[in-house]
Structure 1
Amino acid sequence: MKTLKFSLASIGAASLICSAAFTATDAHAWGKIGHRITGKIAETYLTDDARKAISAILGAESLAEASTYPDEMRSNPDEYWQKTANPFHYVTVHDDARGYHADDCPPQGDGASALKDFTATLQDPEASLADKQLALRFIVHIIGDLHQPLHVGSAARDDKGGNDVKVTFFGQRSNLHRVWDSELVEHQKLSYSEFSHWLQRAITNEQYQQWNTAEAKTWIDESAEYRETVYPAQDEDPYLSWQYVYEYTPLMKQRLQQGGVRIAAYLNHVFADK
């Protein structure tokens, strides 16, 4: 099996201010179906050690169930959910050859720094079960988020990760971010269990070996590269329908597959029997 690449130091939080690509209410990656797909696919690739550790934390709760928890809690009036946790759903990348760098992280944190912090909680023998449950649910969710191209924002674009790019999707008013969060996925008219089964079954051994990395910078840089390809060419209220679905459904499927493989890769490393 290909050796896992893993580095948390390279994605640590920094104190430098970056240009935010989102506001506090913008980030809802993949929607419930997409997140559940990545969680379900991940369960296929867990090691025995990871599976036992996850069961000890979540009990009967599956990774598919856990994956949507951070979005389900966003209406909770507590300050943690209304303010603190909002930046955990995305990152912003400066547009240069280096890709994501720790200096890109704003003072309030982002998805990469939150991943690091929640991982520390999972590995802390003194952390409470409730804190570990929250950490594990967020880790599954964040990794899914970082595979949605528009959750890796561009410092050069002032469009809140595509939220300000108004489009119509099959005649219905929408925005580019929402199209990628949910509408492309829901257009398949499949349940999350059906869709995840089809996607997981299609992952070849070669693809698994190529994708099996727990290095967050790899996922982020991939999304940043893909992000620049998904913007429609039209300047005003572009009409997206069959041609857009035809062009971008393969990428949407691949990012869901990769998100599932990477969730497993990350948790397999975190819970490896040292």
Structure 2
Amino acid sequence: MLRWIAAIAASLSLVIAAPAAAYWEYGHGIVARIAYNEVQPETRAKIRALMAQDRLLQTPECRIRNVEDASYWADCIKQYGDRYAYAFSWHYQNVSICKDFDLSGPCKDGHCVAAQVERQARLLADTALPTRDRVEALAFLMHFVGDLHQPMHAGDNEDLGGNRVAANYGLIGGRTNLHSIWDGYLAERSISTPPGGARGVIAPFTRAELEAMKGGNVVDWSREMWAMSRDVAYPSLVDRNPCDGEVEGRPTLTEEDVQALIPAAREAAVKGGMRLAKLLDDALLRGEAPPFRRL
């Protein structure tokens, strides 16, 4: 949802950054690369074959040359305005962290990220569809699984997923907010902290743990990330229940806070990658996808 930040480490302080890219390019790319490394060889071949047909999408400013490009495509196409305006609400789901978990309202008529993960998986699995539709479904699926595993896209406190919660990231203030911290600054820092990259991020987990991450369905994954937004992301700025009223002033996420949050942020990305791998193997290798349902 937001532009990533290319961070430069500073001694005894938080990262000082210049604009580059958000859970957008960097975070989405890691989720997609983990998935691509994990799928079966035949699935990888099918992914490459679909990406090779990206010109069918007629989005020349948003090419798909690799899985990182594919994972970012759904954000890149926002520049086309009305052409893709129908998809703007598909990137998130405003599920209240102050009520019992319930997707029925936020996902009305399929306009939420969880519903679109299932829908795009079904479209990708349908070999009777035109190739263009399946290339688009591949790109949407890679992106939306990443969105779902960024907790500020899964939970909300009547503040647009933290966009209205003013905050500082160390010395970086200005227009920074809770959403942009998790979407950009913290996500980049977490995923790039050594060992970085797709293989480095999954290194601490055993094969059994990685396979276990594939369990459940999109509702389970949504509930898990919603709970992370409630129990980890929102309280990361204030030492109180996030449902006890608006945050006053502009609290700061300190270096100590960041160090404490890195493991959770990395694990969320790994879960996204493993679950995307399962969806891709199911759709492209076995022709399977979640059945249509109202969430």
Q: Which moved more, 1:102-111 or 1:142-151?
A: 102-111
**Residue in 2 that maps onto 1:135:** 137
Q: Which has the higher contact order (CA 8 A, sep 6+)?
A: 1
Letter in 1 for 2:48: S
> Of 226, 237, 240, which aligns to 2:253?
240
Paired residue secondary structure (2:142): helix
Whole-Å Cα distance in 2 between the matches of residues 198 and 207 of structure 1? 15
Residue pair 2:94, 2:106 contacting (<8 A) in 1 also: yes
Letter in 1 for 2:180: R
> Of 209, 229, 233, which aligns to 1:230?
233
Whole-Å Cα distance in 1 between the matches of residues 27 and 195 of structure 2? 10
Shift in Å, 1:87:
0.8
Of all paired residues, the percent bearing the same amino acid is 24
Distance 1:51 1:149, change over 3 A: same
Structure 2, gaps ≥5 residues long: 5-21, 53-63, 239-246, 288-295
Letter in 1 for 2:129: A
**Residue in 2 that maps onto 1:126:** 128
Q: With structure 2 as the length reference, what TM-score do the two structures score?
A: 0.75
Q: Deviations over 1:166-190 (max 9, x none)?
A: 0011221210000000101333594
Aligned ranges 1:56-95 → 2 under 5 Å? 56-59=49-52, 61-77=65-81, 79-81=82-84, 83-94=85-96, 95=98
Q: Deviations over 1:141-169 (max 9, x none)?
A: 00010001110133xx2110000000011
Shift in Å, 1:210:
1.8
Aligned ranges 1:89-238 → 2 under 5 Å? 89-94=91-96, 95-97=98-100, 99-107=101-109, 109-154=111-156, 157-173=157-173, 174-187=176-189, 190=192, 194-213=196-215, 215-228=217-230, 229-231=232-234, 232-233=237-238, 235-238=248-251
Letter in 2 for 1:161: G
Shift in Å, 1:194:
4.1
Distance 1:26 1:56, change over 3 A: closer
Distance 1:131 1:182, change over 3 A: same
Shift in Å, 1:121:
2.0
Paired residue secondary structure (2:94): strand
Q: What RMSD over aligned residues (CA atoms) do the two structures have, in Å?
A: 2.7
Query: Aligned residues, how many?
Result: 245
Distance 1:51 1:193, change over 3 A: farther
Paired residue secondary structure (1:74): helix
Letter in 2 for 1:80: R
Distance 1:103 1:67, change over 3 A: same
Q: Deviations over 1:206-228 (max 9, x none)?
A: 21122023611121111110101
Whole-Å Cα distance in 2 between the matches of residues 27 and 120 of structure 1? 29
